[in-house]
């Protein structure tokens, strides 16, 4: 460094500053910054309730699950898609769970008898983990849950309008709610599958079904009468079941008694058969003795019921024996 006559250093003019000493640090800093950006670009993290759609040079490459992943810097672009469940309260703008608002005429649906009904339901949906790429590129506003919510709401309302038009107001209010829920879920899913948007309907439940305010009191009476009908039917079914159980018990008792009687009769018949066979065997062994014994047994059985008996001597010589019938004879 140049000095003045007194030995003190002097500054160079601005046009004489040595710029070479700044080049190396600048290059090192730029290289470090580049390496840092490359390292950041190489690594990405996916949360458990997310899936990552990896695009390589703008084309779909793969779907990454939760965890730490690597990518090619400046070549791969990662789009994060939430796969958690979303809920819609339909029709849109109508509050549910006991806070239902007043439905406008546009929200009313026509039933099969052309009655108007205010139908409200909830719908749960989520992105299919294996089809996150379809969800991302199905419509213009890719990956927007709000936009998808509007599309799903429109589809679900279309399906529900068609279904409600196939049932009577009484069926919509009471007996066919479960069938309508199942059909609405299947119909909504079928249309979304046709869009190939990677969305799955996980649940659909009817919340409230009410007639317009002008006729609500009359329909409340109808619902009350239907409930009474169900109550009476339940009571009748219980009484019917009780009577059937009593009848079955009585039938079982009679059957058991009949079976016991049959067993006794069979045992008696079997005993008589055994006795007859024994007599037959005795007759074969000693016919005269057996014949005489059978004769005596038969006479004993016949005469045991006679109160008065007259015995004639076989050696009597008179041709016409006279019997004293006045005082009886023995």
Cβ-based burial of 223 (10 A; exposed 0-12, middle 13-18, buried ≥19)? middle
Architecture of domain 83-211: 2-Layer Sandwich (3.30)
**Which residues, listed in sequence order, are joined to residue 203 by a DSSP beta bridge?**
124
Global confidence as pTM: 0.54
Q: Is the pLDDT of residue 294 over 90?
A: no
* Residues 102-112, mean pLDDT to the nearest whole number: 68
Q: Is the pLDDT of residue 72 over 90?
A: no
pLDDT at residue number 186? 95
Please choose, from the candidates 101, 62, 94, the residue with its C-alpha nearest in 3D space to the C-alpha of residue 81: 62
pLDDT at residue number 94? 45
pLDDT at residue number 1? 54
> pLDDT tens digits, residue range 149-166?
889 999 999 999 999 999
Q: Where are the domains of the chain?
A: 23-81, 83-211, 215-296
Q: Is the pLDDT of residue 49 over 70?
A: yes
pLDDT at residue number 38? 67
What does the alpha-carbon distance between residue 171 and residue 187 come to, in Å, rounded to a whole number? 19
* Residues 94-122, mean pLDDT to the nearest whole number: 67
Q: Is the pLDDT of residue 239 over 90?
A: yes
């Amino acid at each position: 460094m140049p000095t003045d006559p007194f030995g003190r250093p002097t500054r160079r003019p601005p046009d004489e500053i040595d710029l070479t000493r700044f080049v190396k640090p600048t290059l090192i800093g730029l290289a470090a910054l580049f390496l840092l950006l490359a390292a950041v670009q190489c690594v990405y993290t996916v949360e458990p309730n997310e899936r990552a759609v990896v695009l390589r040079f703008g084309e779909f490459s793969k779907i990454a699950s939760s965890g730490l992943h690597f990518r090619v810097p400046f070549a791969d672009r990662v789009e994060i898609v939430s796969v958690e469940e979303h809920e819609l309260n339909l029709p849109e703008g109508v509050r549910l769970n006991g806070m239902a608002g007043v439905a406008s005429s546009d929200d009313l649906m026509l039933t099969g008898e052309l009655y108007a009904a205010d139908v409200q339901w909830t719908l749960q949906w989520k992105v299919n983990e294996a089809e996150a790429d379809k969800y991302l590129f199905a419509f213009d506003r890719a990956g927007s849950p709000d936009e998808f919510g509007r599309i799903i709401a429109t589809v679900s309302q279309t399906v529900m309008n068609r279904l409600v038009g196939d049932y009577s107001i009484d069926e919509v209010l009471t007996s066919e709610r479960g069938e309508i829920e199942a059909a609405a879920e299947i119909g909504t899913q079928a249309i979304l599958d046709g869009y190939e948007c990677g969305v799955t309907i996980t649940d659909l439940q009817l919340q409230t079904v009410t007639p317009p305010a002008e006729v609500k009191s009359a329909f409340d009476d109808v619902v009350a009468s239907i409930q009474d009908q169900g109550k009476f039917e339940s009571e009748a079914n219980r009484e019917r079941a009780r009577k059937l159980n009593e009848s079955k018990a009585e039938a079982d008792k009679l059957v058991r008694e009949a079976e016991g009687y049959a067993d006794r009769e069979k045992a008696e018949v079997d005993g008589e058969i055994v006795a007859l066979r024994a007599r037959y065997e005795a007759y074969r062994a000693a016919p005269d003795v057996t014949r005489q014994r059978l004769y005596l047994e038969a006479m004993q059985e016949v005469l045991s019921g006679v109160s008065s008996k007259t015995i004639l001597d076989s050696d009597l010589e008179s041709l016409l024996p006279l019997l004293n019938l006045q005082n009886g004879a023995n």
